[in-house]
Structure formats: C-alpha cells, structure tokens
Amino acid sequence: MAPTLADLKHELAVANRMCAYEGVVDAFGHVSMRHPDNPKRYFLSRSRAPELVEPDDFYEFDLDSQPVVTPKHHLYSERVIHGEIYKARPEVMSVCHHHSPAILSYCITGEKPVPVYHLGSVIGHDVPFWDQRDEFGDTNLLVRLPEEGASLARALGSHNMVLMRRHGATVVGKSVRDLVFRTIYSCRNAEYQTQAKIVGKIHSLSPGEIDMAGKIHEQPNVVSRAWEYWEMRLAHRGATPPRAKTARAAAKKPRKTVKRGNKR
C-alpha cells in the first residue's frame, strides 16, 4: 500500500530528528520535502530545532516560499534555500540545509571535499562552493532573499550538494530517505577526509569509481538498512516523533494514498 501524506510527513519529521541525532544539525538547520502530489509546493517545519520537529509542525509553502495558510508560528528565515532549489531542480524531492561540524572545516578553508571511501561517493564528482559575499557583499550570511536563494541554486547546478563559505552546506535528494543518506554519509566522508589529513596524503576515488560507487545506495536494502539503523537509534533515545493529531484522529478511517517521488 502506498504511503499516505500523513506517513510521508511523519517520515519527514523522522528525517529531521535523524539529522540531529547523527550530528548533522543542532538547534539550527532544516529538512524539507516537495509535496508528493503538487510539485509547486513543499513542506517545511515551523522554526524549531530539528530534533524537536513533529508532523504537526509542518507548513505547506509555494515555491516562492510563502506559506499557503497564515502561519501561527515563527518560520525559518532561510526558506528560500528550499523554494529556489525546488524551482531549479524538478527532480529534487527533498532538501537539507545544515552547518555540520564535519563540513564546516571545508566551508572555512575552501578546501574541496572529495570522496575518500565508497559511501562518500554520495557527494558526486564535484562539490561546488558558493560565497554569498561574491554577489551580495557583506551580509549576515543567512540566505533570506529570493535572489540569494536563486544564486545558491545556480551554484548547486546539477550537483548533489553545495558548500556555503563561512556558513554550511545544502544537500538535495530524490526522496527524503535518499536525502538523509546523502547528508549523513557526506558528513562522514568529510570527517574521514579531515582525520586522514593528520595521517598522510589523501587519495580519492577515481572518476570511474565515483560513478559506480555513487549508485550503491540505489541497490536494494542499502538506504533501507541505514534507515532502520537510524530509526533504532532514535527509538533508543526515546526520540521517535509522535503521529500527527489529524493522523491519530483518522486512524480508523480508510487511508488516502499518494504517489511516491521514487521507489525504495
């Protein structure tokens, strides 16, 4: 049976919490998903630390990052990161913006992350940099204006992630689970690259290896095995999100299913 919209929102809450528990985000950072039935809309939590996000926290936004209902809560100021990328990349179904410790070493120095082990190939052949200062001069480094978001989306181009100088990173995926897998393993890859720098000279994967290893997570039971692992870790912490109130109320009614953006 295909997942309902309530299922997918619950999964998005889980995704936010996984990224927190696995050390990608702290009080800041956010994970969104495109509306599975309406490519001109996306879901993003109200302004809240990702480890606290629950299904009832999501608002629906248009691609100009305006909420479709009048919000009752504070919203993230950097929503345009999500909206402008959904505009520019029709196949992208989920976006994470973060300031992980692992990736910041590269944002601070401008050194390039490269895939240093097979799972690190989720970052792809090249990770572009974007420096807000180049186009917009001195700012507070937050990406708040549509033109800032559009500029970031141009820098991302067709890549899997973009590094933001003195700020963080933005990662894209073909589904929420694909996105979480890419986000966490791109951080692991960066950690290993940094530690290896202490030991000696870095040898990265060859272009051919990146191509082939970059498809590992499309094999059966790769993303799902990792997802089950991260779910278990959330559960051990007592941090599995609750079901949405509406979903709880509707639990006895027939389910309305939605099409999924990709197979798992």
Only segment of 4-12, 80-88, 113-121, 245-253 that touches its own copies (CB under 8 A): 113-121
The Cα-based distances of 98 to 43, 156, 249, 262 in angstroms read 17, 15, 34, 24
Segment 184 to 243, residues that bind its own copies, using CB under 8 A: 188, 191-206, 208-209, 211-213, 215-216, 219-221, 225-226, 228-230, 232, 236-239
List the one residue from 56, 62, 89, 104 that touches its own copies (CB under 8 A).
Answer: 104
Evaluate whether 88 touches 153 at the Cβ level (below 8 Å). yes
User: Does 142 participate in binding its own copies (rule CB under 8 A)?
Assistant: yes
Asked if residues 113 and 189 have their Cβ atoms less than 8 Å apart, the reply is yes
Q: How far is the CB of 200 from its own copies (least distance, A)?
A: 3
Distance between CA atoms of 190 and 123, rounded to whole angstroms?
Answer: 10
Pairwise CA distance, residues 7 & 250, whole Å: 12
Per-residue mark of binding to its own copies, 150-169 (x: CB under 8 A): ---------------xxxx-
Among the listed residues 4, 23, 41, 47, the single contact to its own copies using CB under 8 A: 47
Q: Does 99 bind its own copies (CB under 8 A)?
A: yes
106 binds its own copies (CB under 8 A): yes
Active site residue 78: yes
By CB atoms closer than 10 A (0-12, 13-18, 19+), residue 8 is buried
In the list 37, 69, 90, 137, the residue contacting its own copies (rule: CB under 8 A) is 137
245 contributes a contact to its own copies by CB under 8 A: no
CA distances (Å), origin 66, targets 15, 113, 239: 23, 34, 30
Asked if 250 touches its own copies (CB under 8 A), the answer is: no
Active-site residue, from 51, 54, 78, 84? 78
Task: Tell me the closest approach of the beta carbon of residue 73 to its own copies, in angstroms.
Answer: 8
CA–CA dist 31, 154 (Å, integer): 20
The type of residue at 154 is R
The residue count for binding its own copies (CB under 8 A) is 72
Q: How far is the CB of 20 from its own copies (least distance, A)?
A: 8
Range 2-31, binding its own copies (CB under 8 A)? 26-28
CB of 47 to its own copies, least distance (A): 5
Catalytic residue list: 78
